[in-house]
Structure 1
Amino acid sequence: MWCAANSVTAWRRSPIPCCSRTRGEDNIAATSSVLSAFRVLEAVADAQPVGLSELARSVELPKSTVHRVLLTLQELGWIGATDSAPARWRLTYRAAAVAGRAGAAGGLRDIARPVMNELQAATTETVHLAAPDGQTLVLILRLDSPHPLRAFMALGERFALHASAAGLAYLAACGEHFTDDYLAAVTHVDPTDTRTVLDETRRRGYAVSVDEMSSGISSIGAPIVGSAGPVAALSVSGPSSRIGAERFEELGAQVRVAAAEISRTMCGGRQ
């Protein structure tokens, strides 16, 4: 090693002294790389399919850095590139699988699945289970309708609380402080109108969404509440041709009862 030599001449010939980087500096560099990777991964999830230039602007990193991160995430199986030129990036199902395992860690999916099976059989529509992730919900379990024409959402997909029946049901069960913070952050939503919807949701025990997530799709959702507050939301979704206003009360009651059953089981029957 150059720095081990005992001569000044040898040291000067060394391009980089061998101990120029400390362990602390290496740790900082590694942490920075990990943070960059997660920032890029979350940006892809929010805007997929998304191009390199848009990603770089979103995460405020150099395009060269973002490109290296994308290639690494692709090699690890977290994202994939489209065949278009230039390539656009999107999550793979590996991300959804991890999200699903996160929901299962607390037993939520195991507890909810038998109740969801009964609800799906009774309604013949697609049943969703979504868990909170910050100020969004993430789909962690889906039971598909047997009908050829049905609602579809990919596992792992995130959606805003104000723009879905599941989200509104969850938000309605949250405390005022959380609701205030959420409505203050979502600037394109009228807080007065949203509070009116939340009040109606609390009164009847379920939320209704029409054409919010997808055109021609209606959903009905109810909160799943643990001992410390809402932990998830249950919803039934399908074409508006089958889930019309005349079925809202019927389906709302079924979803509300199913959500309450899951809530009771989570709390050991105490609710």
Structure 2
Amino acid sequence: MTTTDPAAEPAPQPTGQPGTQTLIRGLRVLEALTAQDRPIGVGELSRILELPKSTVQRLLRTLEQEGWAQTSNGAVTRWQLSPRLLTLARRDTLSKSLREVAKPHLVALAARTGETIHFSVLDRDVQLVLIDRVDSIHPVRTFNAIGATTALHTSCGGKAVLAMLPPAKAEEILARPLEKVMPNTSVDPQHLMHQVLEARERGYAVNISENRANVCAVGAAVADSSGHPIAAVAISMPDIRFDPARVPEWGAWVSETARAITDALAH
């Protein structure tokens, strides 16, 4: 008679548990969004996944709430992956195309300034996610890892993005609880709104050690075809090379780069 060691047998896998089923369906939604080269509607996703529209809609809202999916800008609601997924994988086709379009402009700006250039995408209306970087030529330079996130109120890119939004929307975002990341970080909505309006007028925003110690930056926002901000370019440098007298010059350069990327995305 043959005997079997119970310890060698695989443990029975739970089937049909509500939590497991929801997780599997949520992952299938993410896979379907990843496979698309464009934002997709609930009805089409429902057909692809062979799930009821109400179920797909509920899963999408949960993914949106947790920061893994987002709606695109447009009259009709369509869904796409959130840039937050770049912290786990680099398969977001929208961000890939953004990087490809932006890269030559980022390289040119880095050559012009000699400083580190950061390119970040807007994740919902909460934060920026760094998706590309061109390093400075200097031995002492700033560094931020790809996938790093930055709150909008603490960065020049975030303030530039806020400046491109309708003032009421920017005020709504700044009315939320804001974290004081550094001693220089402002969490006063009125003061921040003044900076946002100043950035709107100038076309660029400035960050002086508001997100990280001894790091300064000048940034501008990139828009989509509808004029909605989707990304930001920043010239980042250690404070030992930050010269307030050069801010208008850097601002003009980074604004020019952001406009060039915006124009390139439209073609």
Q: Same fold (TM over 0.5)?
A: yes
SS at match of 1:156: coil
Specify whether residues 194 and 102 from structure 1 end up closer, same or farther in structure 2 by C-alpha distance, changes over 3 A only. Answer: same
Between structures 1 and 2, the one with greater helix share: 1
Gaps of 5+ in 1: 1-20, 36-93
SS at the partner of 2:122? strand
SS state of the match for residue 185, structure 1? coil
Cα offset, 1:115, TM superposition? 0.4
Change (3 A) 1:220 1:187: closer
Task: State the alpha-carbon separation in 1 of the partners of residues 91 and 246 from structure 2.
Answer: 34
SS of the residue aligned with 2:145?
A: coil
**Any conservation in 2 of the 1:170–1:232 contact (CA below 8 Å)?**
yes
AA paired with 1:263? Answer: T
Identical-pair percentage: 34
Partner of residue 136 from structure 1, selected from 127, 130, 147: 127
How far apart, in 2, do the equivalents of 1:199 and 1:185 lie? Answer: 18
Indicate the residue corresponding to 2:173 in structure 1.
182
Pairing of 1:17-166 with structure 2 (within 5 A): 25-31=16-22, 96=87, 98=89, 100-102=90-92, 105=95, 107-134=97-124, 135-166=126-157
What is the Cα deviation at residue 241 of structure 1? 1.6
Q: Which amino acid aligns with 1:127?
A: I
- Taking the aligned partners of 2:136 and 2:160, their CA distance within structure 1 comes to 21
Does the aligned pair in 2 maintain the 1:125–1:150 contact within 8 Å? yes
Q: Is the 8 A contact 1:103 1:140 kept in 2?
A: no
The answer on whether the counterparts of 2:118 and 2:132 sit within 8 Å (CA) in structure 1 is yes
Higher relative contact order (CA 8 A, sep 6+): 2
Please report how far the alpha carbon of residue 109 of structure 1 lies from its aligned counterpart in structure 2 after TM superposition. Answer: 0.4
The higher radius of gyration belongs to 1
Q: For residue 234 of structure 1, what is the amino acid of its counterpart?
A: V
Q: Helix, strand or coil: the match of 2:92?
A: helix
Per-residue deviation, residues 66-98 of structure 1 (Å, max 9, x unmatched): xxxxxxxxxxxxxxxxxxxxxxxxxxxx96361
Q: How many residues align?
A: 187
Change (3 A) 1:103 1:160: farther
Where structure 2 has 5 or more consecutive residues not aligned to the other structure, the ranges are 1-13, 27-84, 180-186
- TM-score, normalised with respect to structure 1: 0.64
Relative to structure 1, the CA distance from residue 215 to residue 103 in structure 2 (aligned partners, 3 Å threshold; closer, same or farther) is: farther
Identify if the C-alpha distance between structure 1 residues 95 and 182 changes in structure 2 by more than 3 Å, giving closer, same or farther: same
Answer yes or no: is the 8 Å Cα contact 1:103–1:131 preserved in 2: no
TM-score by length of 2: 0.65
Residue deviations 1:15-36 (CA, integer Å, cap 9, x gap):
xxxxxx8x7x42443425898x
Amino acid at match of 2:111: A
What RMSD over aligned residues (CA atoms) do the two structures have, in Å?
2.3
Q: What secondary structure, in the 3-state scheme, does the structure 2 residue paired with 1:107 have?
A: helix
Give, in whole Å, the separation in 1 of the partners of 2:100 and 2:165.
24
Q: Flag the 1:101–1:123 CA change in 2: closer, same or farther, 3 A.
A: farther
